[in-house]
Amino acid sequence: MRRVPLSLVASVVVLFGSSLLPAAALQQSAKGGVGDITGPYEVPDPKWPAWAHPYPKPGHIWGSQGGVFAESPNRIYLANRGELKLPDTVPPNFPGNWGFFNQQAATVPIANMVNCIVVVDGNGRLIEAWNQWDTLFEWGRGPHQVYISPYDPERHVWVVDDMRHVIYKFTHDGTRLVQTLGVLDEFGDNDDLTRLRRPTMIDWLPDGTFFVADGYGNTRVVKFNKDGKPLLKWGSRGTGPGQFNTPHGIAVGGSPPRVFVSDRGNRRIQVFDVNGTFLDEWPGIAPHSMMMSADEHVWAVDSISDRIVKFDLTGHVEYSFGQFGTRPGYTWAMHQISADQEGNLFIAEVFGGRTQKYRPRPGADPTHLVRGRSLLPMSGSAGN
Amino acid sequence: MTKTIALMLLLPAALGAAASAQGRPNFSGTWTHASSVPPNYPGSNGWGVPSPTIVITQSATEIAIEAGQFGKQPMKVVFRLDGGDTIWDAPSSSQSGNTAIVKWRTKASWDGSRLVLYTWNTALNQMRDILSLSGNTLTIVRATEQPGPSTNATLTYAKRP
């Protein structure tokens, strides 16, 4: 079933107003908040997280932000693509984010790979810095995204490194690297299940089976069992059903479970069953990142419109907000979104070079808030 | 008797090593790209664009490849043939015109008669070249990585007499 392209809908709304829309387009746009920048959220505090304001190393700043994952309201993982050197002089009102300069994206300067994974509390104060793993990210561009499976009682932390073609699985406290998927610095072809090529995102089924969007290079999805053994793959480079151009985001959910894949280069989301059978496509959106919310909706961050879009599982747009920019609340290349169970939303920006925390506005419509999936309680052996 | 047994044990290994070495071609020579005009290579910033001419010098321990993109100065890159890394620093101009020090790393491995060459740098460029030889034709299967989508190409070179 084809849907009306979201970008087209937004353009029509702006040009003509919603009263002129055909029924199908109206269905897609009626609840979309075109022009609404922060939606149900307050304007973020530009000094969040406190850990990075000022940055620990004088004269430097954190750079491109690949990922963020809110395990709970008071434990948030930040995946940083290294630090950048600041100009010799910065204006007194410099808020601490690279995008403030409005020049080049935070991915352009060569970054120093330090403080790549840090954990902060709800106020952004540092809890842990996993500097022991910084060397893993040299020769690449730093961590691409970070996750915890909601179904893992040990709450392992998964970090994707696209440029080095691997996915790391750490213990919850970061003291041990327990598994590496792929082969470091080697990439395979589309039919090679041992090697990945520029993987991007992960999501899980309740039994621990997981799916990897792989990714910039292999343009496929790989399904793994709970132990990390590859089971099957689907997809190839192309524009047809089941083909991809940079599958960059993935979300799993529904009943029966479905796999939602952001086919970014083809500007669509494709829907599959858990064995890769094509079911549907939702055109007109090119998400960097997607997440399955606690109420079983797909939230996607669109790289074209810079909007955060809420879909039901049949592809209807229920709500959207957001706008490109570098001031607080605006975004420049949202790369991963995550939300805690209280509805606080976190957005990592690769070009803007910051991660913003969006707190719910008092009285906000609760159906417009993003709520993260609850995680299984931690088992006693899992450490902190 | 002991010497004979030892010889019998060692002989297959020695023969195997010799056969393996024989199966590994020497890519030395000056090679000319099949096309004299720059191809429409899908990468960006010139990364991966094939050189019109490459000069290869191969010894038992290393292979050196001197190549340049169309219209750019050649660059000589060395790969060790024992599986080890070669690492060096080089200045590089960024898009903004600033000069930065970029770290480079290379690594080589044999896959039968094919030679697999990896090149990385901290400006977020990667290249994997798989070299194979057939008579006077050198084929390079090239895969490049940059922050955007990956690219693939098969390049053909003829040996200059």
pLDDT by residue (tens digit) across A302-347? Answer: 999 999 999 999 999 999 999 999 999 999 999 999 999 999 999 9
The percent of residues in chain A predicted with pLDDT above 70, rounded, is 90
pLDDT of residue B107: 96
Kindly report the CATH class assigned to A34-375. mainly beta
Are the beta carbons of A258 and A313 closer than 8 angstroms? yes
**CA distance to partner chain A, nearest, from residue B48 (Å):** 15
Which of the four pLDDT bands, split at 50, 70 and 90, describes residue A9? very low
Q: DSSP assignment, residue A110?
A: P
pLDDT of residue A360: 97
pLDDT of residue B147: 83
Kindly report the backbone phi and psi dihedral angles of residue A381, in degrees, each rounded to the nearest multiple of 5, phi listed first.
Answer: -85, 0
Of A110, A185, A245, the CB nearest to B118: A185
For residue B158, pLDDT over 50 is answered with: yes
User: What average pLDDT does the segment A258-270 reach?
Assistant: 97
What CA–CA distance (Å, rounded) separates B141 from B129?
Answer: 6
Any CB–CB contact under 8 A between B130 and chain A? no
Contact: A109, B100; criterion CB under 8 Å:
yes
Residue B112 lies inside a defined structural domain of this protein: yes
Distances (CA, A) of B77 to A89, B25, B66, B74, B132: 38, 19, 6, 10, 18
Kindly calculate the radius of gyration of chain B based on its CA atoms and give it in whole angstroms. Answer: 19
For residue A16, pLDDT over 50 is answered with: no
Q: What angle do CA A175, A152, A206 make, to 5 degrees?
A: 155
Kindly report the backbone phi and psi dihedral angles of residue B62, in degrees, each rounded to the nearest multiple of 5, phi listed first.
Answer: -155, 165
Structural domains of chain B, count: 1
Residue B39 lies inside a defined structural domain of this protein: yes
For residue B42, which residues of chain A lie inside 8 Å, CB to CB? none
The residues near B9 (Cβ < 8 Å, ≥ 6 apart) are none
pLDDT of residue B93: 65
Closest by Cα among A347, A298, A309 to A325? A347
Give start-end residues of each CATH 2.120.10.30 domain in chain A.
34-375
What residues of chain A, 95 to 114, have a C-beta less than 8 Å from chain B? 103-104, 107-110
Residue of A85, A108, A244, A248 to mutate, interface with B, max B Cβ within 10 Å: A108
For residue B150, which residues of chain A lie inside 8 Å, CB to CB? 197-198, 216-217
pLDDT of residue A353: 96
For residue A18, pLDDT over 90 is answered with: no
Contact: A185, B96; criterion CB under 8 Å:
no
What CA–CA distance (Å, rounded) separates A173 from A380?
Answer: 13
Cis peptide before A256 (omega within 30 of 0): yes
User: What average pLDDT does the segment B129-134 reach?
Assistant: 96
What CA–CA distance (Å, rounded) separates A233 from A272?
Answer: 12
Residue B102 lies inside a defined structural domain of this protein: yes
What residues of chain A, 143 to 182, have a C-beta less than 8 Å from chain B? 163
For residue B39, pLDDT over 90 is answered with: no
For residue B102, which residues of chain A lie inside 8 Å, CB to CB? 110
Question: What's the token pair of residue A8?
Answer: 């087209």
For residue A362, pLDDT over 80 is answered with: yes
What residues of chain B, 44 to 73, have a C-beta less than 8 Å from chain A? none
- Which segment of A12-21, A176-185, B21-30 scores lowest on mean pLDDT? A12-21
Of B143, B147, B149, the CB nearest to A107: B147
Say what the pTM is.
0.86
Residue of B122, B125, B142 to mutate, interface with A, max A Cβ within 10 Å: B122
Any CB–CB contact under 8 A between B109 and chain A? no
For residue B105, which residues of chain A lie inside 8 Å, CB to CB? 139
The percent of residues in chain A predicted with pLDDT above 90, rounded, is 84
The residues near A86 (Cβ < 8 Å, ≥ 6 apart) are A59, A60, A61
Please state the three-class secondary structure of A3-42 as a single string. Answer: CCCHHHHHHHHHHHCHHHCCHHHHHHHCCECCCCCCCCEC
Residue of A134, A138, A185, A239 to mutate, interface with B, max B Cβ within 10 Å: A185
Domain that holds residue B54: 26-159
Any CB–CB contact under 8 A between A188 and chain B? no
Each residue of A328-366: b (16+ CB within 10 Å) or e? bbbbbbbbbbbbbeebbbbbbbbbbbbbbbbbbeeeeee
More confident residue, B23 or A356: A356
pLDDT of residue A20: 28
pLDDT of residue B38: 60
For residue A7, pLDDT over 80 is answered with: no
Which of the four pLDDT bands, split at 50, 70 and 90, describes residue B68? confident
3-class secondary-structure state, position A218: coil
Are the beta carbons of A40 and A308 closer than 8 angstroms? no
What CA–CA distance (Å, rounded) separates B108 from B129?
Answer: 10
Are the beta carbons of A213 and A147 closer than 8 angstroms? no
Mean pLDDT (chain A) is 90
More confident residue, B160 or A9: B160
More confident residue, A110 or A160: A160
3-class secondary-structure state, position A137: helix
Cβ of A114: how many Cβ atoms within 10 Å?
19
DSSP-assigned beta bridge partners for residue A300: A290, A309
How does pLDDT run across B70-106, given as a tens digit for each residue? Answer: 667 788 999 999 999 999 998 776 555 567 788 999 9
For residue A98, which residues of chain B lie inside 8 Å, CB to CB? none
How does pLDDT run across A188-211, given as a tens digit for each residue? Answer: 889 999 999 999 999 999 999 999
What CA–CA distance (Å, rounded) separates B48 from A367?
Answer: 48
Place of tokens 């269905």: A27
Each residue of A199-234: b (16+ CB within 10 Å) or e? bbbbbbbeeebbbbbbbbbbbbbbbbeeeeebeebb
How does pLDDT run across A199-253, given as a tens digit for each residue? Answer: 999 999 999 999 999 999 999 999 999 999 999 999 999 999 999 999 999 999 9
Are the beta carbons of A159 and A167 closer than 8 angstroms? yes
Mean pLDDT (chain B) is 81
Q: Provide the CATH number for the domain around residue B37.
A: 2.40.128.20
